[in-house]
Structure 1
Amino acid sequence: MTTQLEHARQGTITKQMQIIARTEGLSESFILDHVAKGEIVIPCNPKRPGQKVTGIGTGLRTKVNASIGTSSDICDVNLEVAKAEAAQEEGADTLMELSAAGDLDNVRQTVLANTDLAVGNVPLYQAFKEAIRKYKNPAKLDPEYLFDLIEKQLDDGLSFMAIHCGINQYTIERLRKQGFRYGGLASKGGTYMVAWMDINKKENPLYEQFDRVCALMKKYDAVLSLGNGIRAGAIHDSHDRAQMAEMIINCELAEIGRNQGCQMMVEGPGHVPLDEIEGNIMLEKRMSGNAPYYVLGPIPCDTGAGYDHITAAIGAASSARFGADLICYITPAEHLALPDVNDVREGVRATRLAARIGDISKYPDRRENEKQAAMARRDMRWNDLEKYLLFPEIARKTREERAPAQQETCTMCGDFCAMKKGMEIFEKDITDKR
């Protein structure tokens, strides 16, 4: 398998690169150049030739990932399919299937069959769940089984994987020496790998045999997303020594993987106060050679449970502004319960909005859509306005349910409409050439 990265380094513009150039409104040479540098990745496992092609990285629209998956309390494959379909309908760019209960092979394969999005996962989930099922003890996980499982999942058609390669004995020692954490550990896969290493007194096999991980990913031209297993679960733990140790290692591994021809992406936090987001992204970009950055939220406060799709959207907008490339949504159920279909919809909408806010700040030359929306609103051209909105169906429904007496206005102001009065005063003076 020749990867997208290797094709680009050979000067070959692939069909996927052409699609990305067209959808992003950029030149094919721009896409080629940044794929060759490892600054853009294209998750496109050829086992699923019909999947939607999306690019993640420098110069591109900030992408949104939606995560779904079963738990031991709520395990319904039909529900997960409904959530996957809802995420796609709402405009998610990628999907992560993160099930941790039930027939995990069946759940994964069923979700893959019911979405056109590029799908990723965390292989450690199934690895440890199978060890628990077979041995009643996750510490008995056989590393050889883990590598076999990664290949099996890739063969099903996964296009990216969050693999916790950056956890090693050094990062664990940092946790001990700093007195653990206020917010504990937030990563399921990362925490179980830490436990495996601690009990077995062995190094993380994903770190120790990193070349083997890359070889498997290359075989299917899948993107290796270097998992953030020691990420902070509270803003008071943000950028502590343990998190930074893993970040440094992941950035080093990103360079190693690229040199081997593997598409690489780095994962980030997590929980980060707003004033630290810019610095976090600067560090990842600087240390990784501008590898695409996939951030999980981030959530900039710890007291928003029930509305964490909003707290995360605030963090996501700032992240997109400063250079994050893929943002994992957060739903209203975060920290409280497994998301339902409505939670998925709200999470995708909030994160898409945050990404748009970040992008029009990151790329000031891409604000034309915002200007057209503003002028349509000024002119009270309601049908035209819908063409520029992120959520036109919701806007239309709201307006129809609360229809105004004067159709050119809305019920917010009624006959006391500022827009209408302003147009009466300045209609002859209007120029839209500023």
Structure 2
Amino acid sequence: MSLLEDARRGVITEEMKIVAANEGVTEEFVRRGVAEGHITIPVSPYRKVKICGIGEGLRTKVNASIGTSTDIVDVDQEIEKVRMAEKAGADTLMELSTGGDFLEIRRRVIENTSLSVGSVPLYQAFIEAARNQGGVVFMNPDDLFRITAEQAKLGTNFMAIHTGINLETMKRLKNQGRHGGLVSRGGAFMTAWMLHNEQENPLYAEFDYLLEILKEHEVTLSFGNGMRSGAVHDATDRAQLQELIINAELADKANAFGVQTIIEGPGHIPLDEIEANVIVQKRVTNRKPFYMLGPLVTDIAPGYDDRVAAIGASLSSAYGADFICYVTPAEHLALPTPEEVYEGVMSSRIAAHVGDMIKLKKRDADLEMGHARRDLDWGRQFAVAMNPERAKAIRDERMPADTDGCTMCGDYCALKIVNKNFHF
């Protein structure tokens, strides 16, 4: 019996109790949300994880993606990225390696974290085909399903699976074209395979078999966004919307089968289209948990894309997105360092909090900080701060002569002046 099926039978599981306690909602609220497909709790029968609820009425969660590339295969560095992501407060991880021994890398990552870990099984399937058969177009669909099961058995909690790329989606892509091309690696692999073999996407054609595998191993199905935009001028185009419609229909089918789901969203979106994307995504999918990739709201700031994505993520969260995939300063430029992973998570956490201030009306921490600053209570300020260590380090480095204030205003601190004569 899956977690989703337990929820439908009226059973409040231990995982639901943990989510309710963490989020400040009732256990029945969580159970009902899971039963209706509005909340997902990634779990695994193969390992215990830090329980994380994703969905309607809950705090916006942040994912950190890590993984090797064909140019840099340094597993120890990836483990350090895990540590930095956790230190920065990531809620989940995705292990997306494209170089090295895939299963060994994933095994080591899972052994070194208590967070839920996601993966993209088709990366391994297509890359192994390229290594062993000379090209991604020679991937055997049986290997794709076998690898999905193998990764699940390692304790993978959720998987991004590209089911919505089918022959109909590809027509939309071909008919409209793209300014920024096809930037999803999974989307590129699958479209190349389909065109070469003149066959339907096996993940779509054999969706029932896929569901059997995922349910057996209690894996949450995150519907991959293979047609996501890689340039703001491609946002909300026909191919993206066609894929969304297909994934929405398949998500209903997955939920009916007892598999929890998440729907992934587009990557590059101008600010004035974010609200529409969230509304359409939620409406079409019957309010499934929405995993926003980014979103990046301008294409001309490489080196600062963590900030660009934070702008978009704050609005996405405010409008109803449930899950944010972080972006690092190295996006579009290089494999990120552990330090850049840390910065990416912090940027996304700030954005998620800003959005939650609107979506959930949760502003208690900001009120506490306002009072602490008014009272010049530095201990309370650091305690409330999202990154106390950094805040304290900056102040300690430039400590003022009068330790009540700071070196920004020195003797002419507005609060010090007013507090002598006025009591709030």
TM-score for both structures, normalised by structure 1: 0.97
Map Cα deviations across residues 15-62 of structure 1 (whole Å, 9 max, x no partner). Answer: 11011111111110111110110100011112112x111000011000
Map Cα deviations across residues 321-365 of structure 1 (whole Å, 9 max, x no partner). Answer: 01111100000000000001011000000000000000011122x
Is structure 2 residue 343 aligned with structure 1 residue 346?
yes
Question: Which residue of the other structure, out of 243, 249, 259, is the alignment partner of 2:240?
Answer: 243
Name the counterpart of 1:299. 296
Q: For structure 1, which runs of at least 5 residues remain unmatched after alignment?
A: none
Question: Which residue of the other structure, out of 256, 276, 282, is the alignment partner of 2:253?
Answer: 256
Per-residue deviation, 1:176: 1.1
Aligned ranges for residues 8-407 of structure 1 at < 5 Å? Answer: 8-49=7-48, 51-178=49-176, 180-364=177-361, 366-407=362-403
CA–CA distance in structure 2, aligned partners of residues 418 and 19 of structure 1: 44
Per-residue deviation, 1:116: 0.8
1:137 maps to amino acid: G
Per-residue deviation, 1:216: 1.2
2:109 maps to amino acid: V
Per-residue deviation, 1:408: 0.5
SS at match of 2:384: coil
TM-score for both structures, normalised by structure 2: 0.99
Percentage identity across paired residues of the two chains: 50
Map Cα deviations across residues 171-202 of structure 1 (whole Å, 9 max, x no partner). Answer: 11111111x21111111011110000000000
Per-residue deviation, 1:285: 0.5
Map Cα deviations across residues 256-281 of structure 1 (whole Å, 9 max, x no partner). Answer: 11111110110001000011001101
Q: For structure 2, which runs of at least 5 residues remain unmatched after alignment?
A: none
SS at match of 1:426: coil
Per-residue deviation, 1:424: 2.1
How big is the alpha-carbon RMSD for the aligned residues of Structure 1 and Structure 2?
A: 0.7
Per-residue deviation, 1:144: 0.8
CA–CA distance in structure 2, aligned partners of residues 398 and 186 of structure 1: 39
Per-residue deviation, 1:78: 0.6
Conserved? CA contact 2:59–2:360, under 8 Å: no
2:16 maps to amino acid: M
CA–CA distance in structure 1, aligned partners of residues 225 and 216 of structure 2: 23
CA–CA distance in structure 2, aligned partners of residues 353 and 422 of structure 1: 30
CA–CA distance in structure 2, aligned partners of residues 367 and 177 of structure 1: 47
